[in-house]
Amino acid sequence: MIEITNLSKRFAQQLAVDNLSFSVAPGEVLGFLGPNGAGKSTTMKMLSGFLAPTSGTASIHGFDIQKQRLKAQQLIGYLPEGAPCYGDMRVQGFLEFIAEIRGFRGAEKRSRVAKASAQLELDKVLGQSIETLSKGFKRRVGLAQAILHDPRVLILDEPTDGLDPNQKHQVRQLIQGLAKDKIVIISTHILEEVSALCTRAVIIAGGRLLADGTPLELESRSRYHQAVTLLADAAVDSSALAALPGVAGVERNERDGSLTVLASAGQVIFPQVNQLIHQRGWAVREIEVERGRLDEVFRSLTRGEAA
């Protein structure tokens, strides 16, 4: 259990994190979202014990991150933003160093290093010095370092930044495989990642919590929730669609000529739209009911904050 209570951090004049409170239970994969400068990294730095909060507290499985820092840090695997490592070390040596710091010796140390490097497919670069690696490999070394001691809490600051689509997929699978009884907190800019990976999403901007819910709940806040998008060959009477009960409006996508019929809040409009199509005999090529667009929710929530 992670408990964050009234956590604030002030840098000189700027309030980076403003009275943040929430808790995370084991088994949850929490996606931490927000524009650049929202306070995501600062919050993660406080959770990992790197920065001291200006006020408020955070505890990791009951250990206060200030008063029992070492006990809390033993439970955490942390990937800092940008995955900094000791560039002049070889991958093998670096992972062995981390394993020793985590208290593993001898055969246990070797098997931990071997397992982590296998999980992130680092076997081929174990003998290379870290500064000569590509960005993707460096990120994976950082991840290997974080999961090496099989921590109960994983805090990953932009774990898939700089990875190609295949590697992103791989890292997501890895996180999902690890997540069963752990607490995972990841920050990301990639909203599809939140839908694909997270059981819960928290949106912050200006250091304040703006939304907290499952990705589905957040998507349902979108004006596109339950909207029906259709692509027809011939002209479609959009005013007839707009007149249907429960319809809030009709938007035309200029790029491919498709129509999006928006639903009023809490309404399901697909049956009516479908019925109308059949009545009029429109030749519809594609039809899709939307769950809602997370990026649109993200923008509408955070734009007001930035202004």
Partner 1 sequence: MKQLPVIFKRELASYFSTPLAYVFILIFLVLSGVFTFYLGGFFESNQASLAPFFNFHPWLYLFLVPAIAMRLWAEERKSGSIELLMTLPVTRFEAVAGKFLAAWSFAGLALLLTFPMIITVNYLGEPDNGAIITGYLGSWLLAGAYLAVGSCMSALAKNQVIAFILAVAACFLFIVSGFPMLLDAFSGWAPQWLIDAVASLSFLIRFEAISKGVIDLRDLLYFLSFIVAWLAATALVVDLKKAD
Residues 122-151 that bind partner 1 (CB under 8 A): 129, 145
Nearer to partner 1, 84 or 304 (CB): 84
From the CB of 59, what's the least distance to partner 1, in Å? 16
Counting contacts by CB under 8 A, is residue 80 touching partner 1? yes
Instruction: In angstroms, give the least distance from the CB of 92 to partner 1.
Output: 12
108 binds partner 1 (CB under 8 A): no
| CA pair distance 62, 121, nearest whole angstrom | 34
Instruction: Identify which of residues 103 and 271 has a Cβ nearer to partner 1 in the complex.
Output: 103
- The one among 17, 98, 144, 241 contacting partner 1 by CB under 8 A: 98
Q: Does 45 bind partner 1 (CB under 8 A)?
A: yes
Strand order in the sheet with 259-263: 247-252, 259-263, 228-232, 284-289
Q: Which two tokens stand for residue 76?
A: 């955490």
Nearest CA-CA partner of 273 in 226, 241, 233? 241
Residues near 137 by beta carbon (within 8 Å), at least 6 away in sequence:
122, 125
DSSP state of 52: -
Position among 76, 204, 209, 250 found at the interface with partner 1 (CB under 8 A): 76
Tokens for 73, please give them.
Answer: 């840090």
Choices 75-83, 190-198, 209-217, 293-301; region in contact with partner 1 by CB under 8 A: 75-83
In this structure, the strands spanning 63-64 and 55-60 are: antiparallel
Q: How many residues bind partner 1 (CB under 8 A)?
A: 28
Task: Determine if 183 is a binding residue for partner 1 (CB under 8 A).
Answer: no
Strand, helix or coil for residue 229: strand
Considering only the stretches 48-56, 160-168, 174-182, 199-207, report the one whose residues sit in contact with partner 1 under the rule CB under 8 A.
48-56
